[in-house]
Amino acid sequence: MEGIRKKYYILLAFLALLMCAFCIFIPISSVNRVETIYREYTREKIFDIKKTFLKDSVNNIIKSIESTQVEVMQKYEQRAKRLAIRFEGTIQAYPEEFVNFAKLSFSDPYNREVFTILILDKQTNEIIYKNLLPDFDQKDDIGNLIELLKEKSIGYHEIQNEEYCLIFMVLEEVIHRETKEDIKGRIHEDEFSNGSYFWVNEVLDYNGGENYAIRLIHPNLIDTEGMYLSTSMTDIKGNTPYLTELQGVVTEGEIFFNYYFEKKDSDEVSEKLTYAKLYEKYNWIIAMGVHLDDIQLYSDEIL
C-alpha cells in the first residue's frame, strides 16, 4: 500500500511539473510569435515608407522641372519685351538704321544663342538675315513657316516699317535645353541618406531594343552619361531592368521594380528597390532607388 501511495505522489509531482512547464511554455511561445509578427509588420511599414519616399521624391523633381521651365520662359519673355521696346524706338527715330541696329543687337552672343530671328525684305519677300532658323525651302510659303514657329515659341514679336519686317522669338527647344541643364546640375548636387540619388534615361524608341535610350543623367556613373542603353542588358542575377522599366512606364506611366546594382561610390552590388516614372514631355524616365540591405540594416537597428 505504501508503494502505491509513493507512486501516486510521484505521478502527482510529475503532472504538476508538466502543468508548470506548459504554463511557462505557452506565454514564451506567444511572446515569440508576437515578436515575429511585430518584426514582419515593422519591416513592411519601413518598406512602405521607403516606397513613398521614392515616389514623392521623383514627383517632386518633376514639379521642379515644371517650375524651372516656367521661370526660364518668363525670363526670356521679359528679355524679348525689352528688345521689342528698343527696336520700336529705333524704327521710329532712325528708320534707315533699323536693320543694322537689329543685326548688331542680335550679334551679341547673349541674344544670338537664344533668339530665332529673321529679317524680311517686304518688297521681295526674301529673308535678308536669319539666326537659329530651322532649315526650310525658300520657295515654300514664309508665312506658313512663321505660323509654325509661333506655335512652338514664346516671346514672339514683329517689328516693321515700310521696307523691312523683323521677327524674333525663343523656340521651345531653347527653353527645354536650359531647363534640362538646370535640372541636370541639381540632380548631380542633390545628396540623400544611404547613397540614394536620381537618374534619368532619355527614351529614343519606346519599342525597346538596342540603343532604345540614352543614359542622360547618372550621378553614380557620370563617366557613362550619354551612352546608349539596350533592353537586353542584364544585372548579375540575369534580370533585365531596362526592359522591365520601359514596359512599366509605357503601360502604367510608372513602376516599382527590383534589380541588382552597384552602390554609390562603391563596388558592392546588392538588390535595389527602384521607382521610375515617365516624364513624357522630354521622353525622360526619371528614377530613384534604395538598396534593400540598407532597409534591412535600418530595420534591425530599431527592433
Same domain membership, residue 153 and residue 88: yes
pLDDT, position 37 = 53
Same domain membership, residue 279 and residue 196: yes
pLDDT, position 146 = 84
Same domain membership, residue 85 and residue 142: yes
Encode pLDDT of 62-94 as tens digits.
999 999 999 999 999 999 999 999 888 888 778
Same domain membership, residue 198 and residue 160: no
User: For the chain, give me the number of helices (H) and strands (E)?
Assistant: 7, 10
Q: Domain total for the chain?
A: 2
pLDDT, position 34 = 46
| Phi, psi of 289, deg, nearest 5 | -145, 170
Distances in Å between the Cα of 212 and the Cα atoms of 207, 257, 259, 276 are 7, 19, 19, 16
Q: Is 260 exposed, middle or buried (0-12, 13-18, 19+ CB in 10 A)?
A: middle
pLDDT, position 244 = 98
Same domain membership, residue 195 and residue 297: yes
274 assigned to some structural domain:
yes
Domain holding 237: CATH number?
3.30.450.20
Q: Are strands 254-262 and 269-279 parallel, antiparallel or unpaired?
A: antiparallel
pLDDT, position 172 = 93
Same domain membership, residue 106 and residue 168: yes
214 assigned to some structural domain:
yes
Same domain membership, residue 145 and residue 223: no
Range of the domain at 95: 71-174
Encode pLDDT of 234-258 as tens digits.
999 999 999 999 999 999 999 999 9
23 assigned to some structural domain:
no
Angle at 48 between CA 44 and CA 50, to 5 degrees: 115
pLDDT, position 9 = 47
DSSP string, 36-62: HHHHHHHHHHHHHHHHHHHHHHHHHHH
Are the C-beta atoms of residues 198 and 190 closer than 8 Å to each other? Answer: yes
Asked which of 139, 174, 209 is the last residue of a domain, the reply is 174
Same domain membership, residue 197 and residue 159: no
pLDDT under 70: residue ranges of the chain: 1-43, 136-140, 294-303
The DSSP letter of residue 140 is: S
Residue 272: which of 179, 181, 194 has the closest Cα? 194
Same domain membership, residue 196 and residue 154: no
Q: Encode burial over 9-40: b for 16+ CB neighbours within 10 A, e otherwise.
A: eeeeeeeeeeeeeeeeeeeeeeeeeeeeeeee
Same domain membership, residue 200 and residue 295: yes
Hey, which bits of the chain come out as E strands? 116-121, 126-131, 153-160, 164-171, 198-203, 213-217, 228-229, 254-262, 269-279, 284-291
Adjacent-strand bridge partners of 256: 275
Q: Encode burial over 61-94: b for 16+ CB neighbours within 10 A, e otherwise.
A: bbeebeebbeebbeebeebbeebbeebeebbeee
**Reduced to 3 states, what is the DSSP secondary structure of residue 75?**
helix
pLDDT, position 287 = 98
17 assigned to some structural domain:
no
Same domain membership, residue 220 and residue 280: yes
pLDDT, position 29 = 47
Same domain membership, residue 285 and residue 202: yes
Asked which of 109, 142, 174 is the last residue of a domain, the reply is 174
185 assigned to some structural domain:
no
170 assigned to some structural domain:
yes
Asked which of 174, 200, 235 is the last residue of a domain, the reply is 174
13 assigned to some structural domain:
no
4 assigned to some structural domain:
no
